[in-house]
Amino acid sequence: MARWVLHVDLDQFVAAVEVLRRPELRGRPVVVGGDGDPAKRGVVSTASYEARAYGVHSGLPLRTAVRRCPDAVFLPVDREAYEAASSEVMAALRELESVVEVIGWDEAFLAVDTADPESTARRIQARVRESTDLDCTVGIGQNKLQAKLATGFGKPAGVFRLTGRTWFDVLGDRPTDALWGIGPKTAKRLNEMGIGTVGRLAAADPRDLAARFGPATGPWLVRLAQGRDESPVVGTPYLARSRSRETTFQQDLDDWDEVRRELVLLARRVAGDVAAERRPASRVVVKVRYAPFITHTHGHALAAPTTEVEAIEQAALAALDRFTERRPVRLLGVRAEFVR
């Protein structure tokens, strides 16, 4: 017997839920986003594998998606349906008598003691399918990092094991942004240092990385590249880290007085979500997407954690004031981050 971490990731979750509700769509390209009208502005929330084959992916403008895949079925986002389906899946996982850490609608870690993690993974897949008719991929690792990355190699609906022994065989020659936690900006900075692969990052001197990224982040990047992760799987209830709202305007907003008015409306809606959570927010972040499709964000820390509407509204306006460009705006977003 050994302790293993399993990462369960539901395949094309949102699209799969929609196909369950509309079986006639099975096998067809399905795109979910906005109000489901590709003639209007909006972005793709998710796409079925059939749509992804045409280059449709999350974050893509709906108008671009319909040009790439004109035969796709476009559907509006139905948050309540996805939350209900997610609850069913997580309930099924908890029936397996393992520690379950939910990390989103469609993802969870499980800590299991077994001599045969692949059999356990297949049992999980069968249980999820029996309970919900949804497919999932299971990644197996000796820690959460390894399990999370293993899932990507098992999709769709497969099982893949990644351990310290196989880590560099699988990932050593891959770019650094293949790692969970490294995005394009960090990868670019690493490339500027001559560190372009996971293997090179794993062999880097932590002191050099500390000088460039800071005393905590630098060494952490090296540990990440070595496949090391000591964070435990915890079974405490999942709590969202933030609440957000955003609006895509069908016509660009040229008047920034109007931008401010729309921002206030969004901030008040977010404040209502925060109050419903009964958890104080500590920071507010504003997202502005300029025409045609350039996105920037700025944040503002609250003087004290709060659920008060006025304080969240004022913080959003303060964040908006940090945007110096007064170009036409196609999207506004407000996110309130909870105290951690």
Cβ neighbours of residue 315 closer than 8 Å, sequence gap 6 or more? 267, 283, 284, 300, 301, 302
Q: Where are the alpha helices (DSSP H) in the chain?
A: 13-21, 49-52, 62-68, 79-94, 117-132, 144-154, 167-171, 184-192, 198-202, 206-213, 217-225, 256-277, 309-320
At residue 136, the 3 state secondary structure works out as strand
CA distance 108 to 100: 7
User: Does the global pTM surpass 0.85?
Assistant: no
Neighbours of 276 (CB within 10 A): 10
All domains of the chain, ordered by start, with CATH? Answer: 2-13+80-162 (3.30.70.270), 18-78 (3.40.1170.60), 167-225 (1.10.150.20), 242-338 (3.30.1490.100)
Helix H or strand E encompassing 196:
none
CA distance 331 to 314: 19
- Cis amide leading into 61 (omega within 30): no
- Main-chain phi, psi angles of 310, to 5 degrees: -60, -40
Residues recognised as catalytic: 107
CA distance 334 to 338: 13
Residue with tokens 């997407």: 289
- Main-chain phi, psi angles of 35, to 5 degrees: -100, 15
Show pLDDT as tens, one digit a residue, over the chain (340 residues): 799 999 999 999 999 999 999 999 999 999 999 999 999 988 999 999 999 999 999 989 999 999 999 999 999 999 999 999 999 999 999 998 889 999 989 999 999 999 999 999 999 999 999 999 999 999 999 999 999 999 999 999 999 999 999 999 999 999 999 999 999 999 999 999 999 999 999 999 999 999 999 999 999 999 999 999 999 999 877 778 899 999 999 999 999 999 999 999 999 999 999 999 899 999 999 999 998 889 999 999 999 999 999 999 999 999 999 999 999 999 999 999 998 7
Helix H or strand E encompassing 299:
strand 294-306
